[in-house]
Amino acid sequence: MEDKDIKKLASLARIKISEDEGKGFIKDMESILSYVSEIGEVDTGGVNPETLELKNVFREDTNPYKEGIFTEDILNEAPKTEKGYIKVKKIL
């Protein structure tokens, strides 16, 4: 990985980085790429992913409680409510 690669990535990400940050990113990216390359070294033992049997390991989706049974308790615990909803600070 070279300085020009980091500049290209920064351009694609639409961020501005200084020369010092770029040098730090080179070291970080080399470390990340080295770690990711270890995946290729894993011995899969000739397992063909197309022959693997997939199965659902989750329980059946059921509704064990009557709808709305805990609504009042939850609203009572919220710091602010309005018209039956929990009121939170606007973030957008």
Sequence ranges of the domains in the chain: 3-41
* Model confidence, pTM: 0.41
pLDDT for the residue numbered 50: 79
Tell me how far apart the alpha carbons of residues 92 and 82 are, in angstroms, rounded to a whole number: 19
Identify whether the C-beta of residue 26 lies closer than 8 Å to the C-beta of residue 3: yes
Q: Where are the beta strands (DSSP E) in the chain?
A: 81-82, 85-86
Architecture of domain 3-41: Orthogonal Bundle (1.10)
pLDDT for the residue numbered 43: 81
pLDDT for the residue numbered 78: 94
Reading the chain (92 residues) residue by residue, the pLDDT tens digits are 788 888 898 999 999 988 888 888 888 888 888 888 888 888 877 777 777 788 888 888 777 788 888 999 999 999 999 998 999 998 87
